[in-house]
Amino acid sequence: MYKRKFEMGLFIVILFWCGNVQSEGIDLSENEASNLLELPLSCVEVEYPNKLGQVLNSDDDLLSPRTLHPSFFGCFDWHSAVHGHWSLVRLLKAFPEIEGADNAKSILEKHLTDENIQRELKYVRDNPSWERPYGWTWLLELASEIHTWDDPLARKLENSLRPLANEISKLYINHLPKLIYPIRVGEHSNTAFGLTFAWDYAVLLGDNNLQSAIETRARDFYLSDKDCPVTWEPSGYDFLSPCLTELDLMRRILPEDTFKQWANNFLPSLISKEFVLEVGRVSDRSDGKLVHLDGLNFSRAWALKGLANQYSEYEYLNRIAEAHINYSLPNLVNDSYEGGHWLGSFAIYALLDYKQ
């Protein structure tokens, strides 16, 4: 483990000093990918410390994380465990033969069983607002990643996970018409982020009812927005940019001409090649809230990269995304558990995924 940490540190320092982050993402070697794989592997089976975030109705609810959530009990909290499993799948898809692949597959097969998912499903049905929307959207992103994984194990995992994904879809469809106003904060409850991965899932899986529900509310919530105050960002605990997260959603949903007109009104400064966005700076990475700003840097980067990848006239945004990645990427090494249990997923998404 210490050798692996040293190798991971050396890899990231080299990337940092050489500026090797390209607009298509880093050209990772198999060895570098296996080092990144250590981040989710080091937390998805770590049960404690754990933040359950549950409401207790009786003593019967006082059960261990592993008992309550046999699929997603690690990584400090449920949503981090979910995107920790997403990280395993994402890296295995990109690098099927990497060191650690057998261990990763074994964990996925052990955690994502019919029996375990049925218990997770019961918990969600008994607590229908729990983990809404952040845990919901990452669960659907995990389902999307497994669906597009060309591996025999993926079909088994997909069949097991499907009932939970279907339930999350139904919860979204039921909840969205009731949500009169969007939530625009830079943390878990952000509505735009909650709809982004859910949209990708709906398009990929042909979930037309979910797609329609998301498009309707996104247009209701955001289509008239103008002059987003990006200079007010970040707030001290942000791991999402309220402005860029909304932009990331709307570029998916709106037709090209409509989106570009909307974007020019929403973020007028973005159309300038001199656009500036300073990185979020972290003063104490042992503080679980302050380290959110490393996540902000990664999520800003994937939003900017996604826009530049979809529309070439925004290519200049890559330099800003690269600066954000370069600031926070070295800090994944020897990070405290406060950041280490979740930041790996954000880094992997920023490095490997710029969704259309």
For the chain, domain boundaries: 2-352
Q: What is the pLDDT of residue 33?
A: 77
**CA–CA distance, 348 with 220 (Å, rounded to integer):** 32
**CA–CA distance, 157 with 35 (Å, rounded to integer):** 24
Name the 3-class secondary structure at 275: coil
Query: Which residue stretches of the chain have pLDDT < 50?
Result: 1-25
Q: What is the mean pLDDT of the chain?
A: 91
Q: In this structure, what are the phi and psi dihedrals at residue 64, rounded to the nearest 5 degrees?
A: -70, 155
**CA–CA distance, 302 with 251 (Å, rounded to integer):** 13
**CA–CA distance, 317 with 275 (Å, rounded to integer):** 8
Q: What is the pLDDT of residue 7?
A: 46
User: What is the H or E stretch that residue 116 is in?
Assistant: helix 114-126
Q: What is the pLDDT of residue 10?
A: 42
Q: What is the pLDDT of residue 3?
A: 40
155-164 LR contacts (CB < 8 Å, sep 24+)? 156/109, 157/108, 157/109, 157/112, 159/114, 160/112, 160/113, 160/114, 160/116, 160/117, 161/112, 161/117, 163/117, 163/118, 163/121, 164/117, 164/120, 164/121, 164/124, 164/139
Q: What is the pLDDT of residue 36?
A: 85
Percent of the chain with pLDDT over 70: 90
Contact (CB, 8 A) for 91 and 65:
no
**CA–CA distance, 350 with 343 (Å, rounded to integer):** 11
**CA–CA distance, 157 with 93 (Å, rounded to integer):** 14
Q: In this structure, what are the phi and psi dihedrals at residue 206, rounded to the nearest 5 degrees?
A: 70, 30
Q: What is the pLDDT of residue 337?
A: 78
Q: What is the pLDDT of residue 24?
A: 42
Q: What is the pLDDT of residue 28?
A: 62
Q: What is the pLDDT of residue 131?
A: 98
As given in the structure block, the two tokens for residue 187 are 């943390």
Which residue type, as a one-letter code, is found at position 347? A
Q: Which residues contact 87 (CB under 8 A, 6 or more apart)?
A: 37, 39, 40, 344, 345, 348
158-162 LR contacts (CB < 8 Å, sep 24+)? 159/114, 160/112, 160/113, 160/114, 160/116, 160/117, 161/112, 161/117
